[in-house]
Homo-oligomer: A and B are copies of this chain.
């Protein structure tokens, strides 16, 4: 490799002021010398050209991205995605850490993503596939971000529930009901024991169910259920919409009686969530549309755990994510990494509540607790509550009963003998 290139784009980590750098962690496969490929990667994502013609200068020292760690993880007879490059090329599967000077763009998410997953990343010479696994943030960068406003503790305070997982329920039928019957379903769910009744991520502000009307009716139903149960409740309204409506829809929903708001962050853009966070009076909940499109391929795109980290960074208090089980097509280890991202130390940022989703029912709570060994999670059944054969009130009751059984060290079967709601749930949903 050209020695000038090496000097400009490789650095000794101990000689850098790490407060000035983000660390990008990639897996890539190169069909050329890995060091050369890694240097190209740095060049393309920062100072592609570092001097003017005829001027003696080198902008790389301050502005160049720099390789601080590189190793060949495996050698491959052919690339992992032979559809993308000639399949007979010997490839090196490499792990690289790059120190990228954040002063190149500042504490701004769209610009961060442009640097970390832009043209420089995906179109770098000699690299056939690449996946961004992680970004490490120094405090100098993190302090510009608000993060969750409420966090797990703030959310628990609103509900006054501190000793168990939280019970979300997706009101179903999710699409097509007018606000009145929809509110009745939520009401039944709350009476039965839901903490949080939520709009489906597909249900927005629509002509046949305006957010204004829906928030008003569900807000009213929420207060009624609080009075009758003596428990605090949350109506989680989905305000996902064009970004120039998010602030207005926040105000409309909160005025109506929603006390938490759902946004499909990757479809609005995470920057819009950050904007909303600055204005928000209630907890914000992130949902998962679009994320699988760029996280699912094992060696291409972005790792989902980083998206969870970014969702926390922009201020989601709760992150609904793909959970365990075949339908969610997410390796168990990846689910666990995503859950950990909600809890990990991250500067001054509060923790977010993870809600691993996917075809849940009463039995999911104990099962999740067994895996996670913490009560700091939510479950979010839809049909498991609202298609319960005895109706949504019974569906919600079955969630509580399953947790009671677990606390009393009884099997669900044993506890279901004098709890018909749980019994019916086992019969309908335990597959």
Residues of A within 8 A of B (CB): 45-54, 59, 62-63, 81, 83-85, 103-106, 108-111, 113-115, 117-123, 125, 128-129, 172-177, 181, 185, 200-202, 204-208, 240-244, 264, 267-272, 274-275, 278, 287-290, 292-294, 296-298, 300-302, 322, 327-329, 357-358, 382-383, 386-392
Contact = CB atoms under 8 A, between A and B. Distances in A.
Nearest to A298: B83
B296 A46 contact: no
A114 B387 CA distance: 23
Contact of A204 (B108, B181, B208): B108
Nearest to A80: B83
A389 B53 contact: yes
B296 A84 contact: yes
Contact of A48 (B287, B296, B382): B382
Contact of A269 (B268, B294, B296, B389): B268
- How many copies of the chain does the oligomer comprise? 2
A204 B114 CA distance: 10
A380 to B, nearest CB: 11
A248 to B, nearest CB: 13
Given A174-B48, A327-B123, A104 B206 contact: yes
A108 B176 contact: no
A108 B52 contact: no
A181 B57 CA distance: 13
Given A111-B267, A119-B287, A242-B274, 17 more contacts: A48-B172, A48-B173, A49-B172, A59-B177, A104-B206, A106-B205, A106-B207, A113-B267, A114-B201, A114-B202, A115-B202, A117-B289, A122-B296, A123-B358, A125-B327, A244-B274, A244-B278
A128 B327 CA distance: 10
Contacts of A287: 119
A427 B5 CA distance: 22
A34 B328 CA distance: 19
A111 B296 contact: no
Contacts of A109: 242, 267
Given A52-B181, A111-B240, A327-B123, A118 B383 contact: no
B274 A271 contact: no
Contact of A122 (B244, B298, B300, B329): B329
B271 A104 contact: no
10 closest pairs, A vs B, by CB?
A: A269-B269, A118-B289, A122-B292, A59-B176, A294-B294, A49-B172, A110-B267, A63-B176, A114-B289, A293-B294
A308 to B, nearest CB: 15
Contact of A175 (B83, B104, B118, B388): B104
B173 A52 contact: yes
A357 B120 CA distance: 13
Nearest to A50: B173
Given A268-B110, A271-B272, A297 B173 contact: no
Most chain B C-beta atoms within 10 Å of own C-beta, residue among A110, A289, A383: A110
A31 to B, nearest CB: 10
Contacts of A275: 242-244
Contacts of A292: 119, 121-123
A234 to B, nearest CB: 21
A383 B300 CA distance: 28
Nearest to A181: B52
B47 A176 contact: yes
A391 B175 CA distance: 61
Contacts of A174: 47-49
B113 A290 contact: yes
Nearest to A65: B175
Contacts of A302: 293
